[in-house]
Structure 1
Amino acid sequence: MRIRPATRAELPTLQDIERAAGAPFRALGMAAIADDEPPTLALLEEFRHAGRAWVATGEGEGEGESESESDGTPVAYLLSTPVDTATHIEQVTVHPRAARHRIGQALIEHTAERAREQGREALTLTTFADVPWNAPYYARIGFHVLAEAELTPGLRKIRAHEAELGLDRWPRVAMRRELTPGGTTPRTAP
């Protein structure tokens, strides 16, 4: 696997990844999420231009992968933005055909390293509380749920925007993972 900045030409591929990754939400009774449109090309370009859009490819993996996974085509992506003293993971999405290979975790670790270099205290994200590949997954890789009183002003603004979009029809949480000094991140068992 290789992690690198997204290119402008790959932005439609990121939309395709998002659409494919939305499909499993239908089985959870979350058809509105499954049918939600991916980020627009203009929004993806904003993240890319700011240096906050990363892709993971299957380059160098070898046997057993499809041509698109080995030719440098993205199979996952992550968008981040500074929020208060943290780097906020706006979106991390893995194509279902590349799931369960720790690609999302690799993108998060890459983002953690960059956040440390930028002097950020933590990673944050907002997610669905009860979706197995959302909050329970993030808890396994070192994130913890924030109580309402722990939300920073920036996270409160994000949560309010999510409520305006109707995402609070399903329980949502804000989560945080501290970035420890010296470059180490608390690890949990796989």
Structure 2
Amino acid sequence: MLREIETAAGAAFREIGMHEIADDEPPTTAELAAFQTDGRAWVAVGATDRPVGYLLASLVDGDAHIDQVSVHPDHARQGLGRALIEVVVGWARGRGLPGVTLTSFTRVPWNAPYYERLGFHVLPDEQLTSGLRAIRDEESARGLDSWPRVTMRRVVTDLPR
């Protein structure tokens, strides 16, 4: 079901001319299972107790990193994405991690502008860690840098970086 959510959520990119993103293949079942097994996958369910959104996270250079967050369009604008992100912020805080990072498109309203409203800020390129640079390089190799893209971070603890 998570693959179906990803495909449905990706369709919004088609409406703004980002067809390649809309057509991007969702994570495989094996990839999703690896996140689940490691305790780094969270799912939001609807009234019928069926998944309607999900978030996948990794650990990157001492921070939590949001690999993917998607909500089915039938359940969008209900605070589910925000709730999933807050769960991961709490997960990071509980583990003493100083922040949460992610990568995002700058000109997509439900991407960077949305994350800024949730307390994330853009990291200048010179502040990217080696792990974040590797993620950006992989994204660039997949063609994601065809549109303006940034790395963002939200501080979640007062621990030194």
Q: Which amino acid aligns with 2:79?
A: R
Partner secondary structure for residue 93 of structure 2: helix
Q: Decide whether the 8 Å contact of 2:96 with 2:157 is kept in 1.
A: no
1:1-190 matches, cutoff 5 A:
13-58=1-46, 70-181=47-158
Q: TM-score, length-normalised on structure 2? A: 0.96
Equivalent pair of 2:120/2:154 in contact (CA under 8 Å) = yes
Q: Determine helix, strand or coil for the equivalent of 1:87.
A: strand
Where has structure 1 moved over 3 Å in runs of 4 or more? none
3-state DSSP class of the match of 2:154? strand
Deviation, 1:57, is 1.1
Structure 1 letter corresponding to 2:81: G
Shift of 1:27: 1.3
* Structure 1: stretches of 5+ with no match in the other structure: 1-12, 59-69, 183-190
The alignment partner of 2:27 has SS state of coil
Superposition deviation, residue 180 in structure 1: 2.9
Query: Unaligned 5+ residue runs, structure 2?
Result: none
Percent sequence identity over aligned pairs: 57
2 CA distance for matches of 1:161 and 1:180? 28
TM value normalised by structure 1:
0.82
Q: Deviations 1:137-156 (Å, cap 9, x if unpaired)? A: 00011000111011111100
- The structure number with the bigger radius of gyration is 1
Q: Secondary structure at the match of 2:109?
A: coil
1:37, distance to aligned residue in structure 2 (A): 1.1
Q: CA deviation at 1:181?
A: 4.0
* SS of match in other structure, 1:101: coil
